[in-house]
Amino acid sequence: MWKTGAVATIVAILITLALLPASALAQDARAVIDAASRAMGMEGVNSITYSGAAAAGNFGQSRTISFGLASTSIRNYTRTIDFTRPASHATGEATPPVVRGGPAPQPGPYDERIAADSPWALQFSIWVTPWGFLRGAAAHNATLRTRKLGDVSYRTLTWSPPQKAPSGAPYQLIGYIGPENLVDRVETWVEHPIFGDMRVEIAFQNYRDFGGVKSPTRIAERRMGMETFVTGISAVMANPPNLTQLMASPADRAAVSPAPTPTSALPATSEKLADGVYRLAGDYVSMAVEFKDHVVVLEAGENEARGLAIIAETRRLFPAKRIKYVVNTHPHFDHAAGLPPFVAEGVTILENDNSRYFMEASLSEPRTLAGDVMARSRKKPKVEGVVDKLVLQDATRTLELHAVKNLDHSDAMLIAYLPKEKILFSADFTVAGPGQPLTPSLQTLAANIERLQLDFDQHVTVHPGDPDRPLSRAYLTELGKETR
């Protein structure tokens, strides 16, 4: 049991802390910021450029959706940050990962620009650099605490930018100042359609002095624990004299036409393929399939707006029937980002069993920042896995879901097949044009169709071709003949 004297001592300490003026705590935080800024040589630093080599993990697009991400290597990587705007411009030569069975990947230009008016989901990457973090802490009334990680005692500075999350909640950045007064790591959270409050951690290692300015020579970023961007730094310059040139991008040198309105922001339009079977057109095509007392949707769409549009059109087509299932063809983020509206409606997600746990756990994360329909509904996802094959069937309809084998693009891909209507539905199997070689993914699809003995007349693809229409089996067969 607690002793009376010990309790009295603790109470006295708590009272003392409660009565400690806020100005004193702020002064302590300011002292830590000033000491770290001096140690890092930041006096008068308004911009910085650093260069070396980098690697970007294909976050949300890898064959395996979680750990073990494939990566894009970036040679001659240079990033310049102007903290006064604030804005960032990074360039380099990027080589994507090798695709089994495909041609050797060719390098191409890497060009990433974050403008002063970019949303915080992009802007934050300026402020999680060690220099940006300290500038932000100085400008936004950082608070100070202490924390021990392993054997190291850190002073942590926490601050919030003036920008608010879509939910209206404040963002928060936490920086860890080590014994040498250097920023060792920064963590923050930003909204994400799959992860909700997505945790981002950046670690800084092996600081060196570059002309009076301290910089880490390795920066490693992790999102939800997965390593997503690593930079090896070999050169750093503060206040580069050619700042204007470094910050320039092609958009600065040519007139830019207004971007067309994405179809995800427009109402979904439907085309009848068979009785009770509709193709929902858009940048990402979906299907609505009627059963006796419910509807199954194939593909949720690329974002919340598209998911809502698909739900609205499905209800218009079948006003008396509930949506029971939504089939997620695979867990890549550009295909799964439309799932939250379905979760908000209580719809069960059908997912390849390889990614079932990932999708269920990810959509169950705290969701305080997004402010989307799922967050407002406070509902948790219901996810069921498809191991090899799942047949949805009643007296009126049969729909088969099949796991695709040996696909390099994703190890959690599903295709859908309506045997009576002879309709095949698939995602991300790039269809070659006449005279062009079949892509490795399309060859894999053909092998799976042969393995499963699927007899179809129409092939509906999530990514529409030009012209936008379902493809016939005869067309695909002819492509195969031309490219042999």
Query: pLDDT tens digits for 198-256?
Result: 999 999 999 999 999 999 999 999 999 999 999 999 999 999 999 999 999 655 543 33
Angle at alpha carbon of residue 243, lines to 237 and 244, rounded to 5° = 170
134 pLDDT exceeds 50?
Answer: yes
Overall size of the chain counted in residues? 484
Q: Please give the single-letter amino acid code of residue 454.
A: L
- Contacts (Cβ under 8 Å, ≥6 apart) of 233: 50, 51, 52, 215, 216, 217, 218, 219
Strand partners, 81: 48, 88
Predicted local confidence at residue 3, as pLDDT: 41
Architecture per CATH, 267-482: 4-Layer Sandwich (3.60)
Predicted local confidence at residue 261, as pLDDT: 45
Dump the DSSP string for 193-255.
TTTEEEEEEEEEEEEEEETTEEEEEEEEEEETTEEEEEEEEEEEEES-TTHHHHH--HHHHS-
Predicted local confidence at residue 253, as pLDDT: 40
Residue 370 main-chain phi, psi, to 5 deg? -65, -40
> Are the CB atoms for 45 and 130 separated by under 8 Å?
no
Predicted local confidence at residue 475, as pLDDT: 60
Tens digits of residue pLDDT in 4-60: 444 444 444 444 444 444 454 566 999 999 999 999 999 999 999 999 999 999 999
Element (H, E) at 401: strand 398-403
Tens digits of residue pLDDT in 386-411: 999 999 999 999 999 999 999 999 99
Residue 86: asked if its preceding bond is cis (omega within 30°), the reply is yes
Q: Which of 171, 169, 164, 206 has its CA nearest to residue 187? A: 171
Question: Is 23-250's fold the same as 267-482's?
Answer: no
Q: Structure tokens of 31?
A: 């002292």
Count the neighbouring beta carbons within 10 Å of the beta carbon of residue 479: 21
DSSP 345: T
State mean pLDDT over 410-436.
88
Predicted local confidence at residue 474, as pLDDT: 65
Element (H, E) at 34: helix 22-39
Compute the distance between CA of residue 272 and CA of residue 288 in angstroms, rounded to an integer.
10
Predicted local confidence at residue 97, as pLDDT: 85
* DSSP 3-state of 359: helix
DSSP 469: S
> Are the CB atoms for 48 and 80 separated by under 8 Å?
yes
pTM of the complete model: 0.87
Compute the distance between CA of residue 461 and CA of residue 473 in angstroms, rounded to an integer.
12
Compute the distance between CA of residue 481 and CA of residue 432 in angstroms, rounded to an integer.
12
Predicted local confidence at residue 257, as pLDDT: 36
State mean pLDDT over 141-154.
94
359 pLDDT exceeds 60?
Answer: yes
E strand intervals along 22-162? 47-57, 71-82, 87-95, 108-114, 143-149, 152-159
Predicted local confidence at residue 478, as pLDDT: 58
Tens digits of residue pLDDT in 74-109: 999 999 999 999 999 999 999 998 776 667 788 999
Compute the distance between CA of residue 458 and CA of residue 461 in angstroms, rounded to an integer.
10
C-alpha distances (whole Å) from 3 to each of 9, 11, 14, 16 are 10, 12, 17, 20
Residue 54 main-chain phi, psi, to 5 deg? -145, 165
Q: Which of 190, 196, 199 has its CA nearest to residue 221? A: 199
Can you give the residue ranges of every domain in the chain? 23-250, 267-482
Element (H, E) at 383: strand 383-386
pLDDT > 70: what percent of the chain?
84
* DSSP 3-state of 85: coil
302: left (phi over 0), alpha (psi -120 to 50) or beta: alpha
Predicted local confidence at residue 14, as pLDDT: 44
Compute the distance between CA of residue 133 and CA of residue 73 in angstroms, rounded to an integer.
26
Where does 23-250 sit in CATH, by number? Answer: 2.50.20.10
182 pLDDT exceeds 80?
Answer: yes
How many Å is the maximal CA-CA distance in the chain? 90
State mean pLDDT over 171-187.
97
- Contacts (Cβ under 8 Å, ≥6 apart) of 464: 281, 283, 285
113 pLDDT exceeds 50?
Answer: yes
Tens digits of residue pLDDT in 299-349: 999 999 999 999 999 999 999 999 999 999 999 999 999 999 999 999 999
